[in-house]
Amino acid sequence: MFSGGMVGLPAPGQRPEEPLQRDGRPAGAGAATGAPPEFPPTFVLGGAAARKCEKTGSQAWMFEGTQPIVLHTFRSQGSRHVFAASDRPTVIYSSNRKLLYSNVNLREVSHVAPFNSSSFPDSLAISMDSNLTIGTIDNIQKLHIRTVPLGEPPRRIAHQESSHTFAVGTQRVGQAEDEGMALRLLDNQTFDTLHRFQLGQHEMLCSLVSCTFAEDPVEYFVVGSAYALPEESEPSRGRILVLAVEEGSKLTLIAEKEVKGAVYNLNAFNGKLLAGVNAKMHLFKWGMREGQHELTQECTHSGSILALQAVTRGDFIVVGDLMKSISLLMYKPEEGIIEERARDYNGAWISAVDVLDDDTYIGAENSFNLFTLRKNSDAQTEEERNKLEVLRELQGNRNAVIPEEKAVNIPANRSRSD
């Protein structure tokens, strides 16, 4: 078994050695000079790195790879951090007197050096097998993780800033007298359950959103549901429920709307409510009738098999279908209609969809692939303008999801290889 130790400088003197509690050959050691005192020495053993907790004396193995790790210090946003170069490159940093680490979206980094110029301020020069990359590290943020036992599976969640609450759709099973789905109201600081709104028998909560309506400042939780009856292969009816948080701790039903199918998605849309119900997209207005709030249908659009996903941008609506890939719709408020502008004619079973910009959209489908589409606004013919052009396809080996923003930013003038 190997051990690691530190030698004090400038005054000579070695601190006690620390046995490394793992088989392997030491590959290096380092510390972040100028970092807070709680940033302890980091020892490298093969493709893993360890640190010792000064309070408990225990060793924590932070990350592991298959290649030797080389430690480099660098400064970002006025603080000093450590870059661990290996086949799993990682940034080690100190926050709130805790040592944390964050993975970097690069592979096989062999060396790192600070790089600072007028064109690339506060950057890093990162050496890999066949290229040199100049990039920056995003602001390192602390992520708090807390587990809140609910006692039943959560299905949907929405946050409401005005009432400082979360609404969580949960399903209780195994208790015949109260089996089914409910909407639970949680305090967004303590996570205590404030109220429970029970749905009907065989009623499944399919979608949930927090939104406001035109000429009504109150923020509501809106639930989309479906009745999953044993004799039906697809739900033939469902409900849209509009609930308000009253007295800071109680869900009150303000209005409900019965619909002919499952409400697969809900979106706040131009002061109105956009709902995907089975094969149609419905747009509802919020108003008053005989002193009661109500949802009234303004227009619909048909053309899907099942409109499972929908996102909006301005007056545009991007719909992800069960089998017919992605279509682009446009709402015309002057005429009060929704019409189709373009679609992807390649069949795909969509599991997620999002908008990258006004003309570019990304989809994920159940064959583990991601793909991006572009609207052909400048095409010469109407037929070409009606087609969404496939820009790029990415094959995966697991359920595809919409990717999050990565940690390393590559300057815009640098070309990226496929």
Which pLDDT tens digit goes with each residue over 181-218?
999 999 988 899 999 999 999 999 999 999 999 999 99
287: confidence class by pLDDT, cuts 50, 70, 90: very high
State how far the Cα of 50 lies from the Cα of 176, in Å rounded to an integer.
51
- Residue 107: alpha-carbon gap to chain centroid: 23
Q: Provide the β-strand partners of residue 288.
A: 293
Q: Name the pairing type of β-strands 408-409 and 132-137.
A: antiparallel
Q: Give residue-wise pLDDT tens across range 57-108.
A: 444 445 556 677 888 888 777 778 888 888 888 888 777 767 777 778 787 8
Q: Which long-range contacts (CB under 8 A, 24 or more apart) does 195-198 make?
A: 195/249, 195/250, 195/251, 197/243, 197/251, 197/253
With a pLDDT cut of 90, the percent of the chain lying above it is 49
Task: Say what the pLDDT of residue 19 is.
Answer: 54
State how far the Cα of 182 lies from the Cα of 220, in Å rounded to an integer.
17
Residue 114, token pair as written in the block: 């600070």
Residues 123 and 116: beta-carbon distance below 8 Å: yes
Residues 64 and 101: beta-carbon distance below 8 Å: no
Residue 98, token pair as written in the block: 């805790």
Q: Which long-range contacts (CB under 8 A, 24 or more apart) does 250-258 make?
A: 250/185, 250/194, 250/195, 251/167, 251/183, 251/185, 251/195, 251/197, 251/221, 253/197, 254/220, 254/293, 255/292, 255/293, 255/294, 255/295, 257/284, 257/294, 257/295
Q: Is pLDDT of 12 > 80? A: no
Torsion of CA 390, 395, 401, 403, to 10 degrees: -80
State how far the Cα of 158 lies from the Cα of 219, in Å rounded to an integer.
12
Q: Is pLDDT of 140 > 70? A: no
Task: Say what the pLDDT of residue 121 is.
Answer: 84
Average pLDDT over residues 167-194: 84
Q: Name the pairing type of β-strands 111-115 and 123-127.
A: antiparallel
Q: Give residue-wise pLDDT tens across range 224-279.
A: 999 999 999 899 999 999 999 998 899 999 999 999 999 999 999 999 999 999 99
State how far the Cα of 331 lies from the Cα of 301, in Å rounded to an integer.
10
Indicate the helix (H) or strand (E) that contains 299. strand 292-302
Average per-residue pLDDT in the chain? Answer: 80
Of 140, 160, 148, 157, the C-alpha closest to 80 is 140
Task: Say what the pLDDT of residue 49 is.
Answer: 52
Task: Say what the pLDDT of residue 139 is.
Answer: 66
Q: Is pLDDT of 410 > 50? A: no
Average pLDDT over residues 366-395: 89
Average pLDDT over residues 50-61: 47
Residues 84 and 71: beta-carbon distance below 8 Å: yes
